């Protein structure tokens, strides 16, 4: 097993030599079509960041977010409601990207408050058909967002990964799936978004919160399980794969990528490298905060308990993996697909020519939605 950091994209350099910083920059570039930063804004911010210097990254993104928030207030006072909402969404995205490399608990908490507030204010000004939810769970409720596509629409539950919050998933796939006719429910599981502030941290038994989500959908909206799907991104690929081993009220599951053995993806020697080098060093502090743990070794031991078995899955399954990802992730996606006992299963591998070969297709969210929703249209007999 190599002790190199986990690879999340190919060798094409978008802006930065530090590969983890460049990966997050790719993610930022992919959000323009859903209301994130446009290229001129993003490259202006990047021009002020020293390659690999996380302090300059956090400082410049937060400062640009503050400037966008001020502009939004001015425009709102002038009656320019829609434009104010648009720049507030950009402010959200700046605060979110600053948070990625903030590096300490106090900064995480400050920026989360700023980005959740900017996002909520943008939603209100843009009159988006989005509602905020609190899903019952112990010891604290799970925060969610819901985009309603109408009474006849299937429902797609969206679960992010180790870096993400519900607002990220709105931009990565939630809005695009809703535009394609799916009611989308985006929920932060323990450890995601701001849930650590509620005392919720990463957990092995992800079937527990996901079953609570299904309970809520059935009890509150009369959800038909035959019209219910779930998608998990990155670490969420493990979370949903694990959940559908026992949760039988979900008709279809998608994972990008399905992770069945997290311990082999991130063994202790790789985790220790992640915790000590490059821009990932500051992201890694965020992982510790999300897990409620103090050391890389403790984190690696937790990850070793993240195991899923494809032979126990009973629903239709779509596995997606990018060609720019680490070989261990590609191998696990293929093994997972091969091990599924269900008839309706598909494996999609996306190469560099698709522009969607990075981890979770962050460099081409449009292609992600096309693959996910078109496959689901076949499962739910919606084509044509």
Domain count, the chain: 2
So what's the pLDDT on residue 5? Answer: 60
What is the average per-residue pLDDT within 215-239? 97
For residue 7, pLDDT over 80 is answered with no
Please tell me the distance from the alpha carbon of residue 91 to that of residue 85, in angstroms, as a whole number.
Answer: 10
Q: pLDDT (tens digit, 9 = 90+) per residue, 15-57?
A: 999 988 999 999 999 999 999 999 999 999 999 999 999 999 9
Residue 4: pLDDT band by 50, 70, 90 thresholds? low
- Of 128, 161, 195, which marks where a domain is finished? 128
For residue 6, pLDDT over 80 is answered with no
So what's the pLDDT on residue 384? Answer: 60
| Domain co-membership, 76 together with 209 | no
| Domain co-membership, 49 together with 23 | yes
Peptide bond into 127 cis (omega under 30): no
Compute the mean pLDDT over every residue in the chain, rounded to the nearest whole number. 94
Q: pLDDT (tens digit, 9 = 90+) per residue, 120-176?
A: 999 999 999 999 999 999 999 999 999 999 999 999 999 999 999 999 999 999 999
- Of 128, 157, 192, which marks where a domain is finished? 128
- Of 107, 128, 149, which marks where a domain is finished? 128
* DSSP string across 274-310: HTTSTTHHHHHHHHHHHHT-SSHHHHHHHHTT-B--G
Q: pLDDT (tens digit, 9 = 90+) per residue, 315-358?
A: 999 999 999 999 999 999 999 999 999 999 999 999 999 999 99
| Domain co-membership, 204 together with 350 | yes
So what's the pLDDT on residue 270? Answer: 87
**3-state helix, strand and coil shares in percent for the chain, rounded to the nearest 5:** 55, 10, 35
pLDDT over 70, % of the chain: 98
Q: Which domain holds residue 251?
A: 130-267+304-384
Q: Which of 68-72, 109-113, 178-182 has the lowest mean pLDDT?
A: 109-113
Is the residue at 80 inside a domain?
Answer: yes
| pTM for this entry | 0.95
So what's the pLDDT on residue 1? Answer: 39
In three-state form (DSSP H/G/I as H, E/B as E, the rest C), the secondary structure along 87-150 is HHHHHHHHHHHHHHCCCCHHHHHHHHHHHHHHHHHHHHHHCCCEEEEEECCCCCCEEEEEECCC
């Amino acid at each position: 097993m190599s002790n190199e950091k986990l690879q999340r994209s190919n060798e094409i350099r978008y802006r930065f030599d530090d590969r983890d910083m460049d990966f997050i920059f790719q993610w930022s570039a992919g959000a323009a079509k859903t209301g994130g930063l446009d290229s001129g804004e993003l490259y202006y911010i990047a021009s002020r960041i020293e390659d690999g210097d996380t302090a300059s990254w956090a400082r410049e993104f937060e400062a640009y977010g503050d400037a966008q928030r001020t502009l939004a207030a001015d425009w709102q006072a002038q009656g320019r409601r829609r434009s104010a909402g648009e720049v507030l969404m950009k402010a959200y995205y700046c605060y979110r990207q600053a948070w990625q490399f903030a590096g300490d608990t106090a900064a995480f908490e400050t920026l989360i408050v700023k980005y959740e507030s900017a996002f909520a204010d943008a939603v209100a000004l843009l009159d988006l058909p989005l509602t905020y939810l609190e899903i019952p769970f112990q010891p604290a409720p799970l925060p969610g967002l819901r985009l309603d596509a109408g009474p006849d629409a299937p429902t797609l539950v969206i679960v992010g990964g180790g870096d993400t919050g519900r607002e990220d998933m709105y931009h990565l796939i939630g809005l695009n799936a809703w535009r394609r006719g799916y009611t989308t429910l985006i929920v932060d599981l323990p450890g995601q978004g701001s849930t650590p502030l509620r005392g919720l941290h990463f957990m092995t038994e992800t079937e527990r919160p996901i079953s609570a989500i299904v309970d809520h959908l059935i009890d509150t909206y009369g959800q038909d399980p035959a019209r219910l799907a779930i998608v998990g991104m990155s670490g969420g690929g493990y979370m949903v794969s694990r959940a559908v081993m026992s949760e039988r009220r979900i008709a279809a599951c998608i994972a990008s990528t399905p992770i069945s053995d997290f311990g082999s993806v991130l063994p202790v020697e790789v985790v220790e490298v992640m915790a000590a080098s490059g821009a990932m060093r500051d992201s890694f502090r965020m992982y510790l905060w999300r897990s409620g743990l103090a050391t890389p070794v403790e984190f690696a031991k937790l990850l070793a308990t993240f195991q899923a078995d494809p032979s126990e899955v009973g629903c239709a399954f779509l596995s997606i993996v990018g060609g720019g990802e680490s070989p261990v992730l590609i191998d696990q996606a293929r093994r997972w697909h091969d091990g599924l006992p269900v008839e309706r299963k598909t494996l999609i591998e996306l190469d560099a020519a698709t522009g969607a070969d990075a981890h979770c297709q962050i460099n081409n969210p449009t292609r992600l939605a096309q693959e996910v929703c078109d496959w689901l249209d076949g499962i739910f007999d919606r084509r044509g």
